[in-house]
Chains A and B, each alone.
Chain A
Amino acid sequence: MSVESQIMADGTKCLSYEELETYIEKALRGKKPTILIEDIILLLMNSHPEKPIHGRTMLMKEAFLLYEEILKGGEIETQNPRFVPYRYGPYSFLLMQTLDTLLMAQVVKVRGKTNSRKESFSLTPIGIAKARIRLSRMPSRLQSKISEARVGWDELGTDGILNYVYANYPRYKERSELKKRYKDIMWGKGRAH
């Protein structure tokens, strides 16, 4: 059922859905999209909505790599999640707060034992619909790049992704409880891999 636009007795204009959409479209036209922290989570999970991310460590490290290796310095302005060195390497308090909000809003669902590798995160049907709207203005090549990267990161597993992150972003392991296990390796004339 469609509702026509109408002027109320006090002069307030009530817009029809179609008219509202036209106004929004006009307002957004020419304005560059911005990727918010919430979008980082949506991008990551929506890249393979039927495949959950297993464990908080994986989620945090994949979000870190998505920001560092794909979004940061890219064509779309991205909100900085402010990753800091923490107990298991790079950690964003902002991202965790956003995740909690998304869980409460039933955009993201969680299954399995908390803080274990069995704990898995994925989008709910509401989340998938939200992601579709939020991400519709992102270039499709960006979404396919993220989709491919996500497969590669998932295949690494928790130990593998920590190994990769600690080797390539050594400053984030300063406060890590696991840093002894992931020591720097120097090759040849002191070059690190």
Chain B
Amino acid sequence: MGKRASSLKVKLNRNPEERELFYTTRSLDIRPDRGPPIQTPQRGLTQPELDAKALARYPLPLSSAISGVSRTLNSGEVASLLTDNEFSENQISSLDNLSQRMQHSSLTFAVLQPSMSAVANTLTQDKYRDKFLRMNMAIQQQSGMQMVTVPWVEYSSKAALECFETITRDADFEPVFFLDTRTEPQRLREICDFIKQKIRTDEIHFVGLIHRPIRTTLASCDELWSCLKDEDVALILTGVERYDPNLRDISGIHMNEFILGDILLTEVRRRYVKPENSKKPRNTGRFPVSGVGSALRAFDKEELVVRQLRELSQASLADEVARELGDGRFKVPIENYLEAGTDERKYDIVKGILRTHEFVASQRELNRSREYISAGDTDSYLSEKEVLGNSLRAVRFR
């Protein structure tokens, strides 16, 4: 089967920076087949962020060059994917709908990643793993997403390399292989050696990484950085936590920008939702919400943290949200957010506005940090951001 012609290029435009083991970062130029060049680090747009925009009724573009859907499938869903036509059809339909909403991004992808327990309980043999990957890639190809991903299914190193080789050779698309960052460094090194060959022959331009809490994956992240930092390949880090409660609520996107990942996408907690005609009633058991000021959070662009609303002044937050989103109509719901504790629709609107504000403000901040990184002046940027600097030191030297 012949490959589709592609003019896609990925090029390092700023050599990797490592400062006394304190941070690791770099900048890339991605030239997609269509659309303007993309510079990294870059925040990718995800489904929950699009849903938040719709809930917030925010009409302006979120305009991310890269959009992605990341879903974790549990054991039952993995079994359904292997055996149930309806499940696959619903997945295709749902991804197709999202690919329409993401159509203005230059690059779009979906990763349907089995959970760790689904791999352990359902994908117990290579024949099931093979079938899962086959079905998974077929769903993506039907859904209109531009890139096709290959999720991590815990093959042995040998089987993984064979599988990667077969897909790279035979598929009619350029695959994006996903690796789990909690995989042991030795195994990752073997896989990276294979991937490096494919990067150098222009067969691979992207590698996906499933994010896990950095404390549990330090050695693996270090290995991945060492192997891939000088390569012309963009690292897509999915599942980044929105904030880290152990590090003064630092934003996961801004933290990981200085650890690993060129394109960063936040964690998707919500799983696949049944279509609207499903007979199952909507779960409204969480209302009223006690302590809505603790349950809802807002992004602070100065400190790069995601704070609980109760820590913030309502009036100044409302001003900041309205200013960042460019629309004074967003002030009223934020000024009255306490009403969201007893009304699910108000809760959804406030949550939508805060998430939309977070995406817009964080993306602007990431663009600003990129200028420093591209100029080789990362130290100056980090000296402005005390919480970020302290968090990076805490992770490396604790």
CB of A160 within 8 A of CB of B57, answer: yes
Scoring A117, A153, A157, A167 by chain B CB atoms within 10 A of each residue's CB, the highest score goes to: A157
Q: Quick check: A151 and B346 within 8 Å, CB to CB?
A: no
Give Cα A105–Cα B63 distance, bound, in whole angstroms.
34
- Chain B positions 228 through 262: 1 when the CB is less than 8 Å from some CB of chain A, otherwise 0: 00000000000000000000000000000000000
The answer, among B63, B102, B104, B346, for a CB contact under 8 Å with A187, is: B346
Which residues on the A side are within 8 Å of B104 (C-beta)? 48, 51, 151, 154-155
CB-nearest residue of chain A relative to B276?
A159
Q: Is the interface of B mostly helix, strand, loop or mixed?
A: helix
- Do B339 and A117 have beta carbons less than 8 Å apart? no
A128 to B153, CA, bound (A): 46
Query: Which of B34, B54, B333, B339 lies in contact with A157, CB distance below 8 A?
Result: B54
Partner of A160, one of B54, B60, B102, B329: B54
Asked if residues A155 and B101 are in contact (CB atoms below 8 Å), the reply is: yes
| CB contact between B96 and one of A118, A153, A160, A191 (< 8 Å): that residue | A118
Q: Are B55 and A117 in contact (CB under 8 A)?
A: no
Bound-complex Cα distance A154 to B335 (A): 29
Q: How many residues of A are counted as interface, with CB atoms below 8 angstroms from the partner's CB atoms?
A: 28
Within 8 Å of chain B (Cβ to Cβ): is A98?
no
Give the CA-CA distance A4 to B136 in the complex, in Å: 65
B54 with A156: CB separation less than 8 A: yes
Contacts of B34 in A (CB 8 A): 50
Say yes or no: A187 contacts B53, CB within 8 Å.
no
> Which of chain A's residues has its CB closest to B346's CB?
A185
Bound Cα distance A48, B53 (Å): 21
When C-beta atoms are compared, the residue in chain A nearest to B45 turns out to be A155
A74 CB-CB contact with B under 8 Å: no
Q: Taking the complex as formed, is A173 at the interface, i.e. its CB lies under 8 A from any CB of chain B?
A: no
Residues of A within 8 A of B395 (CB): none
Please indicate which of the listed interface residues B61, B63, B96, B102 has the most CB atoms of chain A within 10 Å of its own CB: B61
B-chain residues with CB within 8 Å of residue A157 when the two chains form the complex? 50, 54, 97, 100-101
| CB-contact partner of A193 in B97, B103, B333, under 8 A | B333
Total contacts A-B at CB 8 Å: 74
Residues of A21-78 contacting chain B, CB below 8 A:
48, 50-51, 54, 65
A153 to B57 alpha-carbon distance, docked (Å): 10
Instruction: Decide: A185 and B54 in contact? CB cutoff 8 A.
Output: no
CA distance A54 to B57 in the complex (A): 19
Instruction: Please state if A153 and B55 are interface contacts (CB–CB under 8 Å).
Output: no
Inter-subunit contact A187/B336 (CB<8 Å): yes
0 or 1 for each of A157-177: is its CB under 8 Å from B? (1 = yes): 101100110011000000000
CA distance A153 to B54 in the complex (A): 10
Bound CA span A50–B35, Å: 11
Check B268 for interface membership: any CB of A closer than 8 A: no
In the complex, A159→B352 CA distance in Å? 14
Does residue B2 face the partner (Cβ distance < 8 Å to A)?
A: no
The answer to whether B333 and A187 touch across the interface, beta carbons within 8 angstroms, is yes
> Which one of A117, A167, A183, A191 contacts B100 once the chains associate, using CB atoms below 8 Å?
A117
A96 within 8 A of B: no
A84 interfacial contact with B, CB 8 Å = no
The CA-CA distance from A102 to B338 in the complex, in Å, is 50
A160 and B346 in contact, given A155-B61, A187-B339 (Cβ under 8 angstroms):
no
Within 8 A of A (CB), among B75-124: 96-97, 100-104
Q: Which of B59, B62, B104, B339 has the most CB of A within 10 A?
A: B59
Q: Is A139 an interface residue (CB 8 A)?
A: no
Chain A positions within 8 Å of B50 at CB level? 155, 157
- A48-B100 Cα distance, complex, nearest whole Å: 13
Q: How far is the CB of A10 from chain B (nearest CB, A)?
A: 56
With contacts A151-B61, A155-B101 taken as known, whether A193 is within 8 angstroms of B53 at the C-beta atoms is no
Residues from chain B with Cβ under 8 Å of A48 in the complex: 104
Task: Given A149-B59, A157-B97, answer yes or no on A51-B103 (Cβ-Cβ < 8 Å).
Answer: yes
Interchain CB contact (< 8 A) of A151 among B55, B63, B100, B345:
B63
Asked if A188 lies at the interface with its beta carbon under 8 angstroms from chain B, I say yes
Within 298-351 of B, Cβ neighbours of A (below 8 Å) are at 329, 332-333, 335-336, 339, 345-346, 349
Residues of chain A within 8 A (CB-CB) of B100 are 54, 117, 154, 157
A152 within 8 A of B: yes
Asked if A100 CB lies within 8 Å of chain B CBs, one says no
Say whether A148 faces chain B, with CB atoms less than 8 Å apart: yes
Complex formed: what's the CA distance from A73 to B262 in Å? 45
Distance between A159 CB and nearest chain B CB, rounded to angstroms: 6
Contact in complex: A185, B349 (CB < 8 Å): yes
23 contacts between A and B (CB under 8 A): A51-B103, A54-B100, A148-B60, A148-B61, A149-B59, A152-B58, A152-B59, A154-B100, A155-B50, A155-B61, A155-B62, A155-B101, A155-B102, A156-B101, A164-B59, A167-B57, A183-B345, A185-B346, A187-B336, A187-B346, A191-B332, A193-B333, A193-B349
Which residues on A are within 8 Å of B, measured CB to CB?
48, 50-51, 54, 65, 117-118, 148-149, 151-157, 159-160, 163-164, 167-168, 183, 185, 187-188, 191, 193
Beyond contacts A65-B59, A117-B97, A155-B104: 13 other A-B pairs, Cβ-Cβ < 8 A, are A118-B96, A151-B63, A152-B58, A155-B62, A155-B101, A156-B59, A157-B54, A157-B100, A183-B345, A185-B349, A187-B332, A187-B339, A188-B335
Ranked nearest first, the 9 interchain pairs of A and B with the lowest CB-CB distance are A160-B54, A151-B61, A152-B61, A188-B336, A164-B57, A187-B336, A54-B100, A151-B104, A152-B60
